[in-house]
């Protein structure tokens, strides 16, 4: 009789244990999905992790050092602003070549926010589907380096705005702010090339004299990728005519909450001087005692 009862008990376990296993898996998955997925370009994420070097994002107050770049600063400040504004959801990062995909994901509510800031004109074009934050980088704060092939002797002779009539550059009208800035320079020719890597290759092969890129002091203002090497002009920068903003999806379940927190946090960071400090320490806002600004912004 005892054996029969034990046998019935064991047989019941055959049914109960698989059910418990399924429930456990669902519980684990529920915990896992509590994190919000954020898509980031793989090269940005690699440098972001290298720069953090195990530190918590909220601890970062010094933005100097290796691996720092404009988009890494964007990523850190965005997270700090969210926390300061009271948004404490955890993020899980998915990496890849996601530049153009991000816009579609934001519009569909599949991506909460872009960790890479947008030019205001580009953000406004998406305003039906995204909230546009306060300026992360204000108009008059965005300086670009003048990058060219190391063997381009002609570029080494460039010293003034007036000389630009003998020089060529490359960009795309899809990047409204970059294009308008270059279009307002008295260039000999402005080539159209929609792919960024193809632009860099054109400059590397000296088919175009220069292109605009953020300064990279942690990399000695040298850009190397897939056999392409470009260097920044040692004494010239261009002031881009625009401000940069973070965008948050209106369709994402946490979109409204995150946007409110972001606005509060960005104001706190700006009041504390942390935004200017971060981009200056990263070398993105250059020491203007060492550089001449080639252009002036048109009055508005």
Q: pLDDT of 37-55, one tens digit each?
A: 999 988 889 999 999 999 9
The predicted pLDDT at position 157 comes to: 96
The position carrying tokens 């971060």 is: 278
What does the DSSP 8-state code read for residue 193?
A: -
Rounded distance, CA 53 to CA 72, Å? 13
Coil, helix or strand at residue 271: helix
Query: For residue 259, what are the contacts with CB-CB under 8 A and spacing of at least 6?
Result: 131, 133, 248
User: Residue 255 — left, alpha, or beta (φ > 0 → left; ψ -120 to 50 → alpha)?
Assistant: alpha
Q: What is the pLDDT averaged over residues 118-146?
A: 94
Q: What is the pLDDT of residues 53-99, one digit of tens each?
A: 999 999 999 999 888 989 999 999 999 999 999 999 999 999 876 66
Task: Show the domains of the chain with their CATH numbers.
Answer: 37-140+245-291 (3.40.190.10), 143-239 (3.40.190.10)
The predicted pLDDT at position 98 comes to: 64
The answer to whether the pTM exceeds 0.85 is no
Rounded distance, CA 71 to CA 215, Å? 12
**3-state DSSP helix/strand/coil percent for the chain, to nearest 5?**
45, 20, 35
The predicted pLDDT at position 55 comes to: 96
């Amino acid at each position: 009789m005892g054996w029969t009862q034990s046998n019935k008990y064991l047989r019941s376990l055959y049914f109960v244990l698989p059910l418990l296993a399924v429930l456990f898996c669902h519980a684990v998955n529920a915990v896992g999905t509590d994190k919000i997925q954020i898509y980031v370009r793989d090269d940005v994420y690699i440098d972001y992790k290298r720069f953090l070097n195990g530190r918590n994002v909220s601890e970062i107050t010094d933005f100097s050092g290796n691996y720092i770049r404009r988009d890494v600063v964007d990523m850190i400040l965005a997270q700090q602003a969210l926390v300061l504004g009271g948004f404490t959801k955890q993020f899980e990062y998915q990496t890849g070549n996601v530049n153009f995909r991000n816009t579609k994901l934001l519009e569909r509510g599949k991506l909460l926010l872009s960790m890479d800031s947008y030019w205001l004109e580009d953000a406004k074009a998406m305003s039906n589907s995204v909230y546009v934050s306060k300026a992360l980088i204000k108009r008059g704060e965005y300086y670009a380096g003048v990058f060219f092939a190391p063997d381009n002797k002609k570029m080494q002779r460039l010293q003034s705005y007036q000389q630009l009539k003998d020089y060529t550059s490359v960009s795309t009208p899809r990047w409204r702010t970059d294009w308008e800035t270059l279009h307002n320079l008295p260039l000999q020719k402005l080539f159209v090339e929609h792919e960024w890597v193809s632009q860099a290759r054109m400059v590397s092969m000296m088919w175009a004299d220069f292109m605009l890129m953020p300064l990279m002091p942690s990399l000695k203002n040298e850009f190397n990728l897939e056999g392409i090497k470009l260097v920044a002009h040692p004494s010239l920068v261009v002031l881009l005519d625009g401000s940069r903003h973070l965008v948050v999806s209106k369709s994402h379940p946490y979109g409204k909450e995150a946007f409110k927190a972001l606005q509060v946090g960005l104001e706190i960071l700006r009041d504390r001087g942390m935004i200017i400090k971060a981009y200056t320490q990263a070398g993105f806002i250059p020491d203007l005692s060492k550089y001449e600004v080639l252009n002036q912004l048109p009055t508005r």
